[in-house]
Amino acid sequence: MMQGDAGEDGPAKRMDSDDGPPVRVIADPVWLFRQACVFVKGVVNAAGLPDAPMAEVAFAGRSNVGKSSLLNALIGQKALARISNTPGRTRELNYFRLADMLHIVDMPGYGYARASKSMVAGWQRLVYDYLGGRTQLRRIFLLIDSRHGIKANDREAMKLMDRSAVSYQIVLTKLDKLKAFEIDKIYAETLAEIGKHAAAYPEIIATSAEKGTGIEELRRAVAIAAA
């Protein structure tokens, strides 16, 4: 590093004061996503939820939509969250902690056809409990597969979040599977549909974990939601 470069980054330089919360730091996506991210725990019931008053964002969506892949792309670590060809892989609320400031939650996917009734009941309970009383939760990123668009079970999830007054933002995934005109179409359709939902953030983010598309935009959205 050249002399004189040292002042350009580093959290200490960005603190507003010693006693107040480091608001500007967490709001800076470039700084935030350069910090370490660690796996905290897998939560299977409401009693297991961390009680730290730390800001939190979550990734939700149908099984196989690409939640874990997108989380890895976001963090810039290939195998932080577990990815699988087997749908229904993530069965717990998987907690990650970024920069010791922010919890990021990888949620179990819904709509997994081969899930047993007791499995579905178990995680529905968990998600209801989670959405119902999680004051730390700043925003849920609801992932939608760009090849399929919003489906019936996504609408149910949206209704549940509308009712719980949990703010959520739609993220289209697997953009690399589509041609440009198809992207335009699904983008417009999705935007039109979220207009009807009270708790939906009015902008959507189009991504590909595989190609890195939209990752910077998603990082900005996470930082803004967390600040």
Orientation of helix 117-133 relative to helix 152-164, angle to 10°: 30
Q: Which of the listed partners (ligand GTP, Mg ion, none) does 29 bind, with a CB threshold of 5 to 8 Å by partner kind?
A: none
Burial of 218 (0-12, 13-18, 19+ CB in 10 A): buried
Site for Mg ion in 51-80 (CB under 5 A): 67-68
Residue span 90-109 as binding mask against Mg ion, x where in contact by CB under 5 A, dash where not: x-------------------
**CB closer to ligand GTP, 26 vs 218:** 218
In the numeric block, which tokens belong to residue 80? 């932080």
Q: How far is the CB of 71 from Mg ion (least distance, A)?
A: 8
Question: In this chain, which of 29, 63, 160, 169 binds ligand GTP, going by CB under 6 A?
Answer: 63
What six digits make up the tokens of 71? 């989380």
**Apex 105 CA angle, 127 and 211, nearest 5:** 120
Q: Which amino acid is at 33?
A: F
Among 146, 164, 190, 208, binds ligand GTP (CB under 6 A): 208
- Could you list the residues that contact ligand GTP (CB under 6 A)? 61, 63-69, 83-85, 87-90, 109, 173-174, 176-177, 208-210
- Could you list the residues that contact Mg ion (CB under 5 A)? 67-68, 90
